[in-house]
A and B are shown apart, each in its own frame.
Chain A
Amino acid sequence: MARIGVFVCWCGSNIAGTVDVEKVREEAAKIPGVVSALDYKYMCSDPGQNSLRNIIKEKNLTGIVLAACSPHMHENTFRKAAAKEGLNPYFVEIANIREQVSWVHEDKERATAKAVDLMKMMVEKVKRDRPIEDVRVPLNKKALVIGGGISGIQAALDIANGGVEVLLVEKEPSIGGRMIQLDETFPTLDCSSCIMTPKMVEANQHPNIKLYTYSEVEDISGYIGNFKIKIKKKARSVVEKDCTGCGECWNACPMHKNVKSEFNVNLSERTAIYVPFPQAVPLVPVLDRSVCLHYKKGGKCQKCFDACGPKCIDFSLQDEIIEETVGAIVASTGYDLMDTSMYGEYGYGKYKDVISGLQFERLLSASGPTEGVIKRPSDGKTPQTIVFVQCVGSRDPEKGVPYCSKVCCMYTAKHAKLFAHKVHGSQSYVFYIDIRSTSKGYEEFVRGTMEQDGAIYLRGRVSKIYEDEGKLIVKGADTLSGNQVEIAADMVVLATGVIPKKGSDKLAQMLGISYDKYGFFTESHPKLRPAESSTAGIFLAGMAQGPRDIPESVVSGSAAASKILGLFSKNEYEVEGTIANVNEATCVACFYCQRVCAYNAISKKEIKDRSGKLIKVVANVNPGLCTGCGACVNACFSKSIDVKGFMDDQIYAEIKALAV
């Protein structure tokens, strides 16, 4: 015979203000099987929990119902309290009379009636609860980090320093990501590569980190603790272990024109065999086969091979597939800049001296195409007047994206400042919508650019840029003075918006994580679970989640790492026991369930007799992947699947309780 306890929480006046809690308790006491009913001001408080535990003990309860707030809030609290008294935690049910009753209704009488109904339903459900055990999944204590920018490197280093092996996979020939392309960083103006290269070297030399550059993740299957991954290591045509990075090969390469350097954002050329930048990690060149004369002209050219001292160039090397098993993954694929072709009026691509912010970074950088001297691309002259245009693509729902790219206000202020420092007597103008400078030291930095470095800030947008007698004429509005302005500039820098890295949507589909309509990976909870993806075991870091600056990217890398180290601190991962369960006796192996399962949790299982003869094939649920969503239950024709804790008889009993 069931012995149920009902506990009605006031939640201060949150519930008691709109629901007659005493009435709910009185009604509870009348239900057959309820041996104890209590109402209390705060059930989640220590005294509340203690009275719950005492009554379980005293009355020898077999199940409890809490008429309280949403199970999202305190289900775990009460399950743990019940478990301490030896009750299976799944014998705790919650009737949500706060979010679903008191907060959304005004009429006390009717709200009370609804609260009573919800409570009655849960009493009928708890009577039919069966004990459920949590599922334990073994963990492979190895992590995969996808993307070797600052957030990925930070995550890899933190995980590796925690004693866990890490695979760091980077698509480009070198790690370093976007940050290594930058010149100096706001608001402290410390040199980006000076603070980045030590991290890159550390990642390369760390005994726990295995670096795969010029490589891509090709396939991922499995689940938390047990992801099977395939990494494609693209053919470098250079034997890494023998290469000394001496540079003889790229100096010998005859292809030194026509191929634009990706690292310098098309502002310079690179050879067919190349390292993207001098501090590349690893300092091993890559042979770009799409432009190499050896491949284009049937093997005639082998100048790099002849020049190479250690003879480590091997034209016959093939792509390699590496298979690994990891327990957790960090997706930190970073960002791209928006294509600005929709702003035809700004003439990007048409006028050589209209460039993007990232291109300006390369012009400022000592390792850049001009060795840090600001020279305009058209004629190599040093510009005296530069117009910076913010929000090109960002905050523009008509042509670009509605969101703010977050970093542009700050890097534009930095650009204007560095321009003033490098070209004395120069003048910069900044067109902006709003200035967003909210982190530590940021506002002061922007002020400094305006007040000490003399940048003229104009609040308004640019309507047109055109060339006239060697000058770029920038027409725009100054909305504060209400005037139209026209500036004759030597160069224009567009602060183009930030978008997710090309191909990150495909990766998200491969990983089975969700992403927003722009392609940014979405967090499991925007506030409380910002490092977790929607899929257990996969964590997020860096700009792949949305626009953020370097410190935030570092923090998110560390957050993902700490989540993984926390996960790996145990030998097994516990999954809630409320997952799908197949009745193998009645399953007819139609596998409709497999087709509707969004988590790839259902596989085919062969049942054999003792002699090994196949008796039947049935559906099998992978507890590591199943989320208990119940889609398969609806799809099953033979009614052979149930989700534990939500069995048919329980649901029917709930409905019946409502009908009576």
Chain B
Amino acid sequence: MKLAYYPGCSLKGTSFEYEVSLLKILEVLNMEIKEIPDWNCCGASAAHSINHNLSVALPARNLAIAEKDGYESVLAPCAACSNRLKNADYELKNDDILKKKITDSLEMPYNAEMSINNMLEFLIGVVGKDKIKSMVKKPLSGIKVASYYGCLLVRPPKVMQFDDPENPVTMDELVALTGAEPVDYSFKTECCGAINSLSKPDVVMALTGNILYDIKKNGADLVVVACPLCHSNLDVRQREIERKYDEKLGLPVLFITELLGLSFGIDPKDLAIDGHMVAADRVLKKIKELTNQQ
């Protein structure tokens, strides 16, 4: 199956680790994706609160290019990107007048028949559990992993049509495939504060702090995410949160692709794990010890 790849801005910038690790595991899996040529901003965070037509037109243009190039399926690893693409697609599917308006202004046709995958849908649905399992060379048994989903992967449920919106399990299933132990906790889909990180950092620290301390309390060694913004809040703000609440966390936050890569036996450097703010050294050491014992 031909698969178009929509990286979005985060994967080319703050979350370059996400792209590096994605491309690396795809190489190991022997799968190919192709970046949509001349892609533009998905409009996340800003467009839909300012101009409705723009918030549909921006993602629609990317989808229209993919459609023109003969793709039926898109991978958008960033949760915000996949959310915007899915929202636009949903609106265009259900509103012919809007569709005409948008395609006219884009001067491009779009049939709204694209299958849009977030990272978890791609891994479970396109790559498949069996294939992933067969690639696990160094099972991470003994490592406890908390999956944090955030809001955008599952909401609004009517549009996302993905997993249980209040108690999602897809990422936990992937964690289990690596041999690691999924950790259950109460804040899997709680808000991390998202983009308020810039305007109201105190709010973000309170919200993200709730999530991280609950994860810590439930005994996780590390956290995995599938959203660049979640990653940024949980990782970058962690040291500040520790200072504010005067309690150590020390929770490395990895992208799900990085965790899979580790279990595939890929060198952590090739997965750009050293690119995070919270060092994963201790966990990596633990993994090394465990896998050496096996």
Residues of A in contact with B (beta carbons under 8 Å apart): 343-345, 350, 464, 466-468
Contact = CB atoms under 8 A, between A and B. Distances in A.
Nearest to A475: B190
A319 B186 CA distance: 48
Contacts of B166: 343-345
B91 interface: no
A466 B186 CA distance: 6
Contacts of B190: 464
Contacts of A343: 166
A344 B164 contact: yes
Interface of B: 164-167, 186-187, 190
Nearest to A345: B166
B187 A466 contact: yes
A532 B186 CA distance: 50
B186 A344 contact: no
A408 B2 CA distance: 54
A343 B165 CA distance: 9
Contacts, number: 13
Nearest to B190: A464
12 contacts: A343-B166, A344-B164, A344-B165, A344-B166, A344-B167, A345-B166, A350-B167, A464-B190, A466-B186, A466-B187, A467-B186, A468-B186
A350 B188 CA distance: 14
A350 B167 CA distance: 10
A42 to B, nearest CB: 52
A464 B187 CA distance: 10
Contacts of A350: 167
| Residue among A343, A344, A350, A464 with most chain B CB within 10 A | A344
A458 to B, nearest CB: 21
Contacts of A464: 186, 190
Nearest to A398: B158
A468 B190 CA distance: 15
A305 B166 CA distance: 49
Contacts of A466: 186-187
B216 to A, nearest CB: 13
Contacts of A345: 166
A344 B163 CA distance: 12
A466 B166 CA distance: 12
Nearest to B164: A344
Q: Ordered nearest first, which 10 A-B pairs have the shortest CB separation?
A: A344-B166, A466-B186, A344-B167, A345-B166, A344-B164, A467-B186, A344-B165, A343-B166, A468-B186, A466-B187
Contacts of A344: 164-167
Contacts of A468: 186
Nearest to A464: B190
Nearest to A349: B167
Given A343-B166, A466-B186, A466-B187, 10 more contacts: A344-B164, A344-B165, A344-B166, A344-B167, A345-B166, A350-B167, A464-B186, A464-B190, A467-B186, A468-B186
Nearest to B187: A466
A6 B167 CA distance: 72
A539 B43 CA distance: 58
A465 to B, nearest CB: 9
A467 to B, nearest CB: 7
B131 to A, nearest CB: 29
Nearest to A466: B186
A468 B186 CA distance: 9
Nearest to B166: A344
Nearest to B184: A350
Contacts of B186: 464, 466-468
